[in-house]
Structure 1
């Protein structure tokens, strides 16, 4: 889980500034050609992976039952992912609205600090427990979202992006530890798939909901929404802790 996140957010951190540079140097067609080429490299590296052997004696458990077992952690992940989705969807528009420069630094700092936190503290969920790590992570992410929501300058918003990256970095593995500990070993792959689906669900819902908020209020209010969403994740985490001490 640690290296999966590092790889994905490294692409986010490097993609924004590199795409701007390529567009300025060679134009939009070259930029998208590079994107298509890199996607092809990813596909080739995937199809050449060796097949994983399947135990024929394994009894398949219905997916909905496994989803129910990880739903608490999945919902906490979904609500906490709203902050990332808001940055990905609206940070450039916020900078444009405010006439601030260097919006790509917001993506870079989010991804860069996300990766740095994963590299330095990836052992913390196993060392201190998923509950404590997730709780601290949520608090840091809330501070980051509020920093963007009440920012008075581009640099303050960039700091908020960095704090959001730090806070969000360990959320997935911390909640993942809590999710799979009650799942039988032979079902943990499916459980992780169900757990990860909540992240995808969050990304799918965050854009339209945050877009409505931005239309009614402002782009900065989107990040107040992100902070409230992450606060909801804390409530879910506390409820889960009280139910499963």
Structure 2
């Protein structure tokens, strides 16, 4: 039975939420144009599906490339300042997107403006997504790292989920310029909140070289990747599996997974400090394995949805539980850099799962994809044991 937060815990949450809201604003700017741009590129600019997909994936490429940079910036110049740079980049991305309809008569120029906008947004996402976590840890202390990471994930994925219908409504009402206008307002709101909160001190000390930090993060990132593959498969092929099986509610599996993903962080985030990050990560990956296996064996929509719920509950706890233990094992002065590299593994997993699963589909059917994902999540449990055996360098 869940106990209500004590008066001592409540102020900590109230200090976490404003900075998490800043992250929400950044990711709202990410989510609003996400579903609109491929349609616009194909139907308004007249380009094919490859360029339509590139218009979206260019942002994720930018994020992967700049995540580590954002982490090092957070360590060197301060988390708040890094967040402000990220929000400014996201604001410029919104301005660029708003200008696209003005050059629509020249499709190549309009497409270039979209790609530049996405590249700026990728840098903004890197800075905000990484530095809001290090900023919040600096504000409330390392003892509350699990809460900080949990609420950071809720803010990010909640914003992406909320952004899709907002973007669709704006586009239907007034076109792409309205979508761009919303993506200006979102980081602007984040800037206003960020400017009301002070910087945390930059931690003094010798910072690890990037190669040494990567070696330390690698097993944690590998465990995260093995869990994230299931997430990517549900997002990319969950709806298609329902359609291929002739089941109604093609979007339900993704929705159930996402709701349980966010809910697990809100409800169970506090258990990481009590039970231990490694134990929670192993249990979470075990639960995800069970859920993905149930999707594989599902003979009707209900078992598949139950499997999606279990997989979402499990994977929701993997990132923060492993992240808490990682933060214990890196020097404090290199915490931001380690967090940036750690997050890259999640970005890469989500980026490569779709294409790789598509190749697997040539030999297996849709359920077979989830069987492989279940094996990956099970292998992640072994990787967690390897992470636990690694010595701390903090």
TM-score (norm 1): 0.86
Larger RCO: 1 or 2 (CA < 8 Å, sep 6+)? 1
For 2:266 and 2:350, how far apart are their aligned partners in 1? 24
| Structure 2 residue corresponding to 1:161, chosen from 308, 313, 316 | 308
Q: 1:71 to 1:227 in 2, by over 3 A?
A: same
- Corresponding residue for 2:359? 212
Aligned residue in 2 for 1:41: 185
Match of residue 64, structure 1, among 211, 227, 241: 211
Asked if structure 1 preserves the Cα contact closer than 8 Å seen for 2:241 and 2:367, the reply is yes
Range with bigger deviation, 185-194 or 42-51: 42-51
Distance 1:31 1:164 in 2: 38
TM-score norm. by structure 2 comes to: 0.55
The answer to whether the Cα contact below 8 Å between 1:70 and 1:180 also exists between their aligned partners in 2 is no
Runs of 4 or more, structure 1, over 2 Å off, are 8-16, 26-62, 239-245
**What is the aligned partner in structure 1 of residue 151 from structure 2?**
3
Q: 1:229 to 1:95 in 2, by over 3 A?
A: same
Deviations 1:69-122 (A, max 9, x none): 111111100111001000111011111111111122212211111122111111
- Superposition deviation, residue 10 in structure 1: 2.4
Q: Residues 5 and 40 (structure 1 numbering): CA distance in 2 closer, same or farther, change over 3 Å?
A: same
Maintained 8 Å contact 2:285/2:380: yes
- The Cα RMSD (Å) is 2.8
**Are 1:128 and 2:275 matched, yes or no?**
yes
Distance 1:158 1:166 in 2: 12
Task: State the alpha-carbon separation in 1 of the partners of residues 160 and 291 from structure 2.
Answer: 18
Please give the residue correspondences for 1:90-169 in structure 2 after superposition, counting only pairs within 5 Å: 90-169=237-316
Unaligned regions of 5+ residues in structure 1, if any? none
- Give, in whole Å, the separation in 1 of the partners of 2:381 and 2:278: 10
The 2-side partners of 1:172 and 1:98 are apart by: 32
- Post-superposition offset of 1:243: 4.6
Q: Give the equivalent residue in structure 2 for 1:82.
A: 229
Give the count of matched residue pairs. 240
Write the distance in 2 (CA, Å) between the matches of 1:32 and 1:203. Answer: 29
Larger Rg: 2
Partner Cα separation in structure 1 for residue 391 and residue 175 of structure 2? 48
